[in-house]
Amino acid sequence: MTAIQHLFDNNKQWAEKRTKENPEFFKRLSEQQSPKYLWIGCSDSRVPANALLGMDPGEVFVHRNIANQVIHTDLNCLSVIQYAVDVLKVQHIIVCGHYGCGGVSAALDNKSHGLIDNWLRHIEDVYRFHQEEMDQVTDEKERINLLCELNVIEQVANICKTTTLVNAWQSNQDITVHGVVYNLHDGILKDLNVSANSK
Ligand code: CO
């Protein structure tokens, strides 16, 4: 018995339940995926893409990293975007931040966190771009939440500038990039109304 035996047990139960509900479920999914959505979210365990969207396996292509960032030189994220746009032909890319994000908070606290500080430097840049707006807010929680929103908006802009999106839009591919923030307190997504497409 391994220390994670309960996970295998859970998995077996889950697979059996899905098969009982729909005997074709795994057969259909094993043959192809055709998700309409690419989700770029935070790795935070409380923000699971499929669950909070009420979506089944096969419905959303997912990339997650700390503080939902799209960095111009991050081949991991850029490859996910390219595959989602060029091969899967997703129609929507959703960048989802969340209020109270630990990564965003760590970028603001002027403490040392080791290796991850290099990753969080990009969020410090977002702060610098919006320093005037940020510095009008004094409450620490509100400052973090504002930076969570500004960070999402920045990442939406970063996606729009990737070669993948520029090329897709040039060839009139129908694809829209959205920015949203998730509230851990009530499970609700807020649209930041920064959606962008080629039209
Ligand atoms: Co987070």
Which of 9-23 are b and which e, b meaning 16 or more Cβ less than 10 Å from the residue's Cβ? eeeeeeeeeeeeeee
Q: Which of 44, 63, 92, 178 is catalytic?
A: 44
| pLDDT reported for residue 1 | 66
Q: Which of 77, 92, 96, 101 is catalytic?
A: 101
For ligand 1, the distance from its centroid to the CA atom of residue 68, given in whole angstroms, is 7
Whole-prediction pTM value?
A: 0.95
Would you call 141 exposed, middle or buried from its count of C-beta atoms within 10 A (0-12, 13-18, 19+)?
exposed
CATH of 32-187, one of 3.40.1050.10, 3.10.180.10, 3.10.20.440, 3.40.1440.60: 3.40.1050.10
For ligand 1, the distance from its centroid to the CA atom of residue 99, given in whole angstroms, is 8
Asked if 42 is an active-site residue, the reply is yes
Domain layout of the chain by residue ranges:
32-187
Asked if 98 is an active-site residue, the reply is yes
Token pair of 5 as six digits: 């035996």
Q: Which of 6, 28, 46, 121 is catalytic?
A: 46
Would you call 106 exposed, middle or buried from its count of C-beta atoms within 10 A (0-12, 13-18, 19+)?
buried
For ligand 1, the distance from its centroid to the CA atom of residue 57, given in whole angstroms, is 23
Asked if 46 is an active-site residue, the reply is yes
Residues lying with their CB under 5 A of ligand 1, a single-atom ion: 42, 44, 101, 103
**pLDDT tens for the chain, residues 1 to 199:** 689 999 999 999 999 999 999 999 999 999 888 999 999 999 999 999 999 999 999 999 999 999 999 999 999 999 999 999 999 999 999 999 999 999 999 999 989 999 999 999 999 999 999 999 999 999 999 999 999 999 999 999 999 999 999 999 999 999 999 999 999 999 999 999 999 998 7
81 touches 155 (CB < 8 A)? no
